[in-house]
Chains A and B, each alone.
Chain A
Amino acid sequence: NAGVMQNPRHLVRRRGQEARLRCSPMKGHSHVYWYRQLPEEGLKFMVYLQKENIIDESGMPKERFSAEFPKEGPSILRIQQVVRGDSAAYFCASSPGNIYEQYFGPGTRLTVT
């Protein structure tokens, strides 16, 4: 059973460009969570999605960030007009339900130059 997959693993963008981060949850998991880890800090919750629904986006910055989890295909975290402060590791996790174990992917390391 493949684990949570994220791609790309590394992404370099210039200021002002768009970044698209993809997450494929574990098979059978319908709940997806995105976290951000800034340099020298712990992971911070961003958003919780189920298929076609955003359940909780309380950790998402108000502007430039959006997330979706369509009926078919991976979950996408989209960052428009990236700035240097967006440089971080972005982790996706999944679970079969709103339970106590989240399975994390390897992360996407975004660098904004």
Chain B
Amino acid sequence: DAKTTQPNSMESNEEEPVHLPCNHSTISGTDYIHWYRQLPSQGPEYVIHGLTSNVNNRMASLAIAEDRKSSTLILHRATLRDAAVYYCILSASGGSNYKLTFGKGTLLTVNP
């Protein structure tokens, strides 16, 4: 399975944009890129997903590099409630795209 690499931690200030990077240099052509986040003592929460084009939803934007070897999750205005561990995940290729494999993720701290 293709792997992802994320920084262990990042810090941001409230109401400022946050760019969370993810490297996935071994991504295959059929792998989707998913982002989930997990607040302390809670289950993961879906944030966004994409394949090739940039994606926007009410929570965030996903910018995917043209060669698809990296992507960036963008939170446009961080709030204290965005403090969480953010996971960048590639869906397994070959039809088992439901099989999410969570790594260590990036711990985002938001300062007031």
Which residues of A come within 8 Å of B, CB atoms? 4, 31, 33, 35, 37, 42-45, 48, 56, 58-59, 91, 93, 95, 98, 100-107
Contact = CB atoms under 8 A, between A and B. Distances in A.
Contacts of A45: 99-101
A91 B44 contact: yes
Contacts, number: 54
A51 to B, nearest CB: 15
Interface residues of B, number: 21
Contact of B98 (A95, A103, A106): A95
Contacts of A43: 44, 100, 102
B98 A33 contact: yes
A44 B101 contact: yes
Contacts of B87: 42
Interface string B35-62: 0000001111110010000000000000
B98 A48 contact: yes
Chain A CB within 10 Å, residue with most, of B41, B87, B91: B41
7 contacts: A31-B98, A35-B100, A42-B104, A45-B100, A95-B98, A100-B91, A104-B44
A45 to B, nearest CB: 5
Nearest to A92: B43
B13 interface: no
B43 A106 contact: yes
Q: What are the 7 closest A-B residue pairs judged by CB atoms, nearest first?
A: A104-B43, A42-B102, A43-B102, A101-B46, A45-B99, A100-B49, A104-B44
B59 to A, nearest CB: 12
Given A100-B34, A100-B49, A101-B49, A48 B99 contact: yes
Contacts of A59: 99
Nearest to B45: A104
A42 B43 contact: no
B17 interface: no
B60 to A, nearest CB: 14
